Chains A and B, each alone.
Chain A
Amino acid sequence: MAHAGHNPVLSDLRRRVLALEQSRRAARPPLEFGLEPIDRHLPWGGLPLGTLHECLESGVESEHAAAATLFTAGILARRRGTVLWCLRGRDLFAPALAAVGLGPDRVIYVETWKDGEVLPAMEEALRHGGLAGVVGEVARLGLTASRRLQLAAESSGVPAFVVRRWRSDSERAAADEPSVAFTRWRISAAPSGATSAPGLGRARWRVELLRCRGAEAASWIVEACDAEGRLALPALLPDRPHPQESRSPGDARPLGEARPLGAGGQLRRAAAG
């Protein structure tokens, strides 16, 4: 190999391969939601790769974080490749992930019981790369921990998702701790639309973007993930909260379509924190 550097053909090839790789890295497409209002609201046109994102639920729901789990699984189901999922407990039910497109062959679970195990495992996996995404169920995510995860994610380009789960009140109090995550989402259940037949229709979520680098807080009502992990906009919004004056420019869309809601006082506090 020592003489290879003197070969003009080889060194030229090497330079071209390097250039190709760099352009590919720069042009890494974001993770799109496939929902025009959300993608347009996010500064990157979707969730950027190689960054840290947080998903949480409010109140007692955060113990199970069932919707936030599926929301995260749905995002990753739209990517290709294996997902590493750091569990906190044994209650995650794999068939539900398969039902949103994250089949059993695509997830490797790590049984980590506490934050002290989840966060190092996540960092290790993020630094290793080669994964579609890394998910960790975490109670506390401070500045230092989130910065470490963010740096690890940046180094490999793997997106990192933290699903916040709390059991105790003291953990819940830590919810507003600042972190360096690029986005923070709150998912909560919303009443589903009426169905013509008896039974249950597709579930609905209120998806709140509590904090986002370079964008306002916003919220949408969406239909839950389908078999490919895609969200959808409800056809009708009979109980849509009253539209406030839009905060982002160019937001003049016809009524009936989901629109970002102006962040309420509570949201703004979370965004400032």
Chain B
Amino acid sequence: MCRDGARRLVAAVDEAAWTLGVRPGQPVAQVQASIAGLAVVEAVPEEDAAELAGLARWCGRYGPVVQPDPPAGLLLDVEGSSHLFGGEAALMADALRRLRLAGFAAEAGLADTPGAAWALARYRPGQIVARGRTGKALAGLPVAALRLPADTVRGLQLLGIDRVEDLARLPRPDLARRFGRELLDRHDRALGRAADPLSPLVPDTVLQVRLAFPEPLTHLAGIEAALARLLPQLCRELDRRRGGLRRLDAVLRRVDGQPLGFRVGTAAPSRDAAHLGRLVAERLPGLDPGFGIDEIVLAAGRVEPLPERQIAAGDLAGPAGDGEAVALAPLVDRLAVRLGASRIFRAAPVESRIPERSVGRVAPLAPLGTGSWPTVLPRPSRLIEPPERVTAMAVVPDEPPASFTWRGVRHVVRAADGPERVRGEWWRADAEAESLRDYYRVEDTAGRRFWLFRDASMAENGQWWLHGRFA
């Protein structure tokens, strides 16, 4: 259902409604009065257009040029590509079969001109008109097949002009005076007497900028200067698309045909040419230009939406938030380029009882939950991994040791806390089901605190290990 002023009109109908006699253009009130239980849905033209554009992209498989033809049509140029599908008939059958499988009520026509094909799809579905026979094929069709406005069609019908062939017999100057240029235009285009180019859907290509040099560049300074010209160009284009780079792919083509390439990633989308320039500059010294570089290509490998926003100068430490992530992103990028992205991280809690598994690495600016490690369990500030063997003296079995020797130094235990029993995670491996650790915090006479564990009970000949240092 769509609206025309205050009137509510039928925009489109499904098959069941069609058999009941509902037609597009009828007032909704009238239809509802005559048919009980009719489901009426508000039309959303924007969604239809988006769907049509998606379908148009898919149709790119049949030919290079596809034009969405709102409200519900697609115009394809299959000249030169139909043989890939075994001929025009096979191509049309394939397209229709796939569209219908996807749930679309699709019809098609094929002719020399877009106008004729449009007419065939609607008034002679499935017909393929051979080359040069368009005029004859159109002759018997109603004038509405010429993609005319409804008023013009009504006017023609009042004059008794029902078919395209009737139109062709009338003097052109008179028609133009009575109905305007458009009628003749449409007629000429359908018959191929006037040009009717398709405006193809431009696919979202990978955004790239390139610069070729008449004289190969051999010096770093020259390459830097070239990048300083290319990056702002790339950023302007990103600005237009409201996008920011997450990955920049740079290819430097050497004279000997060997391409040099590197990638620069960013922690947050960026289209700041100065920032990207610094990241790229970090990578340049490692490249060997050989006998010279004669072309530089910069491609936006990964682009994410980046709306404009005001960025506050980050010279004051504020609460962690979105704004802070924005302020820190350039720093994270620079460190990542210099050291490698995997070496900048945040430690995130992992649900595991095994201490060394309870910390995971996440991206430095990834949003973290508010979760943290349980604070009731004291944990050492330095984890000695793998644990080191210590020889311990325990007066009473299954008690904390009275003293232990680590790296040749004997520590007399003054006080201790424990045990905290950590069992293996049986769901990981069979061996883990058996494993068990009894952790003790111990303090020696000097106040040094250690994290010791015994890997089995004393009765089972358990060994003592040092797993961490507290403060």
Residues on A lying within 8 angstroms of B by beta carbon are 60-61, 64-67, 69-71, 73, 79-82, 84, 90-99, 103-112, 117, 120-121, 124-125, 128-132, 156-158, 187-192, 195, 199-201, 203-205, 224-225, 227
Contacts and interface: CB of A to CB of B under 8 A. Distances in A.
14 contacts: A69-B471, A82-B317, A94-B347, A98-B373, A104-B373, A108-B364, A121-B339, A129-B314, A130-B314, A188-B447, A189-B449, A189-B471, A199-B416, A205-B471
A227 B372 CA distance: 13
A104 B349 CA distance: 8
A109 B346 contact: yes
A207 to B, nearest CB: 11
Nearest to A25: B315
Given A69-B381, A99-B375, A124-B331, A107 B346 contact: yes
A240 to B, nearest CB: 14
Chain B, interface size category, equals 35 or more
A81 B327 CA distance: 12
A79 B375 contact: no
Nearest to A197: B417
B350 to A, nearest CB: 10
B206 interface: no
Contact of A117 (B315, B339, B348, B385): B339
A125 B317 CA distance: 13
Interface string B347-363: 11100000100110000
Nearest to B377: A95
B380 A224 contact: no
Contacts of B443: 191-192, 200, 203
Contacts of B289: none
A104 to B, nearest CB: 5
A132 B380 CA distance: 23
Given A128-B314, A203-B449, A203-B470, 6 more contacts: A64-B469, A67-B471, A71-B471, A93-B381, A99-B379, A121-B339
A96 B380 contact: yes
B41 interface: no
B447 to A, nearest CB: 4
Q: Which interface residue of B344, B347, B348, B375 has the most chain A CB atoms within 10 A?
A: B347
A70 B380 CA distance: 10
A105 B447 contact: no
A40 to B, nearest CB: 24
A192 B414 CA distance: 10
Q: Give the 9 A-B CB pairs with smallest separation, nearest first.
A: A130-B314, A81-B317, A94-B347, A67-B471, A189-B447, A95-B373, A66-B469, A96-B381, A111-B343
A226 B261 CA distance: 51
Contacts of A131: 317, 328
A79 B318 CA distance: 9
A112 B343 CA distance: 8
A77 to B, nearest CB: 12
A129 B380 contact: no
Contacts of A106: 320
Contacts, number: 183
Contact of B343 (A66, A103, A110, A125): A110
A110 B339 contact: yes
Nearest to A128: B331
Nearest to A94: B347
Contacts of A192: 415, 443, 447
A104 B334 CA distance: 22
Chain B interface helix/strand/loop/mixed = mixed
Nearest to B414: A191
Contacts of A97: 381
A35 B364 CA distance: 34
Contacts of B332: 108
A90 B471 contact: no
Contact of B446 (A81, A84, A112, A189): A189
Given A104-B347, A121-B338, A91 B416 contact: no
Contacts of A71: 471
Interface string B399-420: 0000000010100001111000
Contacts of A84: 331
Interface in B441-470: 441, 443, 445-449, 468-470
A156 B331 CA distance: 13
A156 B370 CA distance: 29
Contacts of B469: 64, 66
Given A81-B318, A95-B373, A108-B328, A66 B381 contact: yes
B71 interface: no
B317 A130 contact: yes
B383 interface: yes
B345 A92 contact: no
Nearest to A189: B447
Contacts of B38: none
A61 B469 CA distance: 10
A130 B447 contact: no
Contact of B448 (A103, A108, A189): A189
Contacts of A132: 317
A92 B381 CA distance: 6
Nearest to B376: A99
B324 interface: yes
Contacts of A112: 339, 343
A120 B447 CA distance: 36
Contacts of B407: 60
A189 B372 CA distance: 27
Q: Which interface residue of A108, A201, A204 has the most chain B CB atoms within 10 A?
A: A108
B139 interface: no
Given A191-B443, A200-B416, A204-B447, A95 B359 contact: yes
B383 A93 contact: yes
Contacts of A98: 372-373, 375
Nearest to B331: A128
Nearest to A83: B317
B345 A70 contact: no
Given A64-B469, A200-B416, A200-B417, A93 B447 contact: no
Contact of B346 (A60, A73, A105, A125): A105
Interface in B304-347: 314-320, 324, 327-328, 330-332, 334-335, 338-339, 342-347
B384 interface: yes
Given A71-B471, A104-B372, A91 B383 contact: yes
